[in-house]
Amino acid sequence: MGNTRFIMSMLLLNLAVSFSTRTRTNMHTDQAALLALKARVISDPYKLLINWSSATSVYNWVGVTCGSRHRRVTALNLTDMNLSGTVPPNMGNLSFLSWLDMTNNDFRGLLAVQLSNLHRLKFISMFNNSFSGEISSWFGYFPKLRYLYLSFNNFTGQIPKALSNCKKIEIIAMVSNAIKVNLPKEMGNLTKLQFLDLQDNLIQGQIPSDIFDRMSRLQQIYLDINRFDGEISMILFKFKEKQSMLYYKNALNHIFRPLALKMNPENMLFPPKSYSSKAASSFRIQIQLVPLSCTCGKIEGEKHQA
Ligand SMILES: *[C@@H]1O[C@H](CO)[C@@H](O)[C@H](O)[C@H]1NC(C)=O
Ligand SMILES: *[C@@H]1O[C@H](CO)[C@@H](O)[C@H](O)[C@H]1NC(C)=O
Ligand SMILES: *[C@@H]1O[C@H](CO)[C@@H](O)[C@H](O)[C@H]1NC(C)=O
Ligand SMILES: *[C@@H]1O[C@H](CO)[C@@H](O)[C@H](O)[C@H]1NC(C)=O
Ligand SMILES: *[C@@H]1O[C@H](CO)[C@@H](O)[C@H](O)[C@H]1NC(C)=O
Ligand SMILES: *[C@@H]1O[C@H](CO)[C@@H](O)[C@H](O)[C@H]1NC(C)=O
Ligand SMILES: *[C@@H]1O[C@H](CO)[C@@H](O)[C@H](O)[C@H]1NC(C)=O
């Protein structure tokens, strides 16, 4: 029901956002969108965008890839360009964009809601910029999204429940932001997830006990440096994937033991002990699941005063 409501509200939002703009989009729209982005760039030390001008075909612009069929912009790769600026709403007109990579720049400000129109996005990286504001629920409106990198920014708020609508998502990285509030139990719907990295945020509360149950492909989880509390218990031991083996590091050097061991013991080396955080304020967990065929390492504990 919540999900239906979400879809309805997203449809309405999308209608509202696109109603005024969805005339026919074409290569000129794409060009205009990119020129709008360039106009918002206040520093381009390597002068890479010099060739983004109406004098040159968009096909030859640095960082821009166009599809051969539709002749529309399909990928934008601004990695390592050291650009400073903001992202204009016009970016939402790049309706064929499936790859948006802004890694290692200094873009800041809020992400315009118009980006939610980019339904073809498979890859989003804002990794290492200075974006702020909440991670909006319209991140749930990318049905093809597989990779989401938002690490090293100033995002706040919560991880939106709506993200669970991105059924294809494989990688979520949101390291070093200021995300608060609990891990939403809806994330448990992300059955294709392989990698989850939420280190160094302000996430509180308990980790929902069944959150990882259906994520049979999960390989690595990093939850260090947050404010989780309660019984982390044994969420971690319910992995159904037989080839998985659990390693973990817990900075307070407490050892985990499952309350209810639902995983085949053969697949687990060193069953951990139970742990309940007294100083609920801060502890670290770092978990890595690797295939059993890997004979590397074993469970480690590590002292760390939080
Ligand atoms: C524009 O970018 C293309 C692709 O990198 C490059 O080959 C070309 O020399 C650039 N043109 C100018 C005027 O910088
Ligand atoms: C994006 O650009 C960076 C730097 O120019 C390059 O290393 C990387 O391979 C590019 N990514 C893709 C998918 O082309
Ligand atoms: C990136 O740009 C900033 C100014 O915006 C400058 O201070 C810095 O040195 C630049 N870094 C590199 C690697 O060019
Ligand atoms: C693109 O988007 C902007 C803002 O969202 C809008 O003002 C503009 O009219 C749109 N269309 C074109 C063709 O640029
Ligand atoms: C972020 O990007 C800057 C250059 O723009 C680089 O110096 C810095 O190491 C990057 N930080 C991370 C965490 O990758
Ligand atoms: C985040 O914001 C704080 C102040 O509000 C600032 O000191 C810090 O540099 C910002 N970090 C990033 C990655 O933009
Ligand atoms: C997602 O998870 C929630 C809570 O775990 C559940 O109630 C809901 O039905 C799920 N939605 C979908 C579409 O699977």
In three-state form (DSSP H/G/I as H, E/B as E, the rest C), the secondary structure along 3-20 is HHHHHHHHHHHHHHHHHC
Is the CB of 59 inside a 6 Å radius of any atom of ligand 1?
A: no
Q: Which ligand is nearest to the CA of 176?
A: 6
Is the CB of 153 inside a 6 Å radius of any atom of ligand 5?
A: no
Is the CB of 84 inside a 6 Å radius of any atom of ligand 3?
A: yes
Query: What pLDDT shows up at residue 42?
Result: 97
Distance from Cα 40 to the centre of ligand 5, integer Å? 21
Q: Domain spans of the chain? A: 2-179, 207-306
Residue nearest to atom 14 of ligand 4 (CA): 29
What is the rounded average pLDDT for all residues in the chain? 74
Beta strands per DSSP E along 88-217: 99-101, 106-109, 123-125, 130-134, 147-149, 154-156, 171-173, 195-197, 204-205
| Best residue among 46, 49, 51 to mutate for probing ligand 1, ranked by most atoms within 8 Å of CB | 51
Q: Would you identify the CATH topology of the domain 2-179?
A: 3.80.10
The amino acid at residue 58 is: V
| Best residue among 65, 66, 77 to mutate for probing ligand 2, ranked by most atoms within 8 Å of CB | 77
pLDDT per residue as tens digits for the range 150-164: 999 999 999 999 999
- The average pLDDT across 213-237 equals 65
- Which pTM was predicted? 0.79
- The average pLDDT across 246-262 equals 34
